Structure 1
Amino acid sequence: MKQLCLFILLIGSTIIAKAQTNYLNISNYKVYYGWAHHFPQDWMIIRQFENSGKSYLFLVNPQTLETKIDEAGFYEVKSMTYAVARAYFRNTPYIKAIDRAEKQSKNIQDAGIESGLPKETGISLTADLCPSHRPLDRVIFTDIYQQFQKVETPVPVALSITGVWMRQHQNDLQWLKQLQKEHEIYITWINHSYNHRVSAKLPLKENFLLEAGTDINYEVLETEKAMLKNGLLPSIFFRFPGLVSDQQLVYKITNFGLIPIGTDAWLAKGQASQPGSIVLIHANGNEPVGVNDFINLLKSKTQSIAKKQWLLYDLRESVDEEFESDSSKVH
């Protein structure tokens, strides 16, 4: 299990190094589905764009949930509708995860994938970066590295990032990228919408992305573009602002080829983590209670961490292995 995770992380590190060339001249960025092949791997295409006169594809490995950006000319490509692409890759962990998220789409809060691998002793950590005037809670990242550096490096963490946070916190973003470059942490970047709109007055069913006038195409695609322009590699995960959605919104997100990620352990709300939990904290300076709870959780697991009996898991691995195909064939 962990050997597979490390192998995936090494592959991801190579791809991220390639993606570090920021795409500053993006044009014609659009949803585009299809099949791409470069021996020996089949990929599902979910986006297409141009940058500095070259055509690029945003690709997903449907078996491992790994993503990458690459030049279209390197691949044999077949354009498909979304329905046809989902049918073609229907037996893969990627499409099975989308199917599961859609089946859990009726809740007004916390729709989507809420937990990872219940058989594992450890958690998948997700930290949200909603718009905030406060600086990044850097102590989260320094503490997890100090706790895990002798047993698990780079330490996997998933960050749900908004476009506004990226724009307003360039120093903090560069600091996170440097940690990843130095292999202290490995970040899975989750789309958390661009603006993260919220009203203190509106009920949940009319709030966040459910607020009237919300342009969901802008909220999703503009965040991906901002990631690419900042040298970040988008994942295929999406977290709803406030964890608020309805069934129609969930299907809008899955129609972008994205997997909604919820949580079964929002620490600041007193939800205790369990084996395999997808833990939620906010790292944007707005939730000191959740940050302190997580740091205390780490301290309580010090001996278990040292014995490799309690680890942090890559969110992709947690979701991927839950939906592993019985067959290596994709159609």
Structure 2
Amino acid sequence: MNLTNLQTLILRSKFLQSVRKFFTEREFLEIDTPALKRVGGMEPYLDPFGVLSPSMEEKGYLITSPEYSLKQALSLGVEKVYEIAHTFRSGERGSSYHTAEFLMLEFYQSNIRLEGAMDLIFELISDVSYEIGKPIIQPKFNRWKVKELLTQFAQLDDWNRNSLEKKIRELKLTGLDLNELTYEDCFYLIFLNLVEPKLPSEFTFIYDYPPEMAALSKIEYGCAKRFELYFGNIELSNSFYELQDVEEQRKRFSEEQRLRQKLGKEVFPMNKEFLFALERGIPECTGVSIGLDRLFMVILGLNSLEEVSPYWNQI
């Protein structure tokens, strides 16, 4: 089935209208934030596109996510906010599920935790799929803790680095020197080889990650309070129970700067506007990002982003 024609544009328009309708009905504030920023994102494994003016005097970066800007809105007193943003990531070509530019839905709601955000995503996908005439038939989404998946599919009862390295050596998952790998590298060698291929062809929430992978989420009871939503082995969504402690955030940014340097990547200064927003204070909240192109593809039962975009070859 290939919808890369007028029908695609009509369905995609209806899809986006349905997403906006969902959040409008729940009194979320839609805002639009800059796509071009002076400072790039800090994530070690994401690379933004740099933009240079003809005079060579102005430099900026296309956003990999609107997260920092949306949190600035939270610090102004907004309790429920969302954006449908064009986002850009270098090195994302080469698979059926990646493009250098893609459409991201990102939303934040105060006073809900991960469980509430999972419920909201289920409602969103159920409503939107029904609105475009492709209702999903899964009555509820699976929910698995990371530790449960590691136990069931990798026979691991612990996620400490020694346990991960032992399993990697046992199964010969890489020929690289493990001493040169980060904790996250080791985790994903296990997850991508032993867990992800065995996920069911259904919507599945995976939550409570190792604390070493907290990123911008809080850590509680030894777990990073975050989740990802998969459909089969396709990642659709990422969510954090958001960190509010500005000093802890500075510490994590410093660690990410060191890792980017170790990886031989451009090291960006800390985003002062974002840190100021944390200093001013953001509410207790959960934030969610969803790749809308992938979600559209999954709802339509298709297998490639090429099938849902007439512009596939132009990006």
TM-score by length of 1: 0.28
Higher RCO (CA < 8 A, seq sep 6+): 1
- Which structure's CA Rg is the greater one? 2
TM-score by length of 2: 0.29
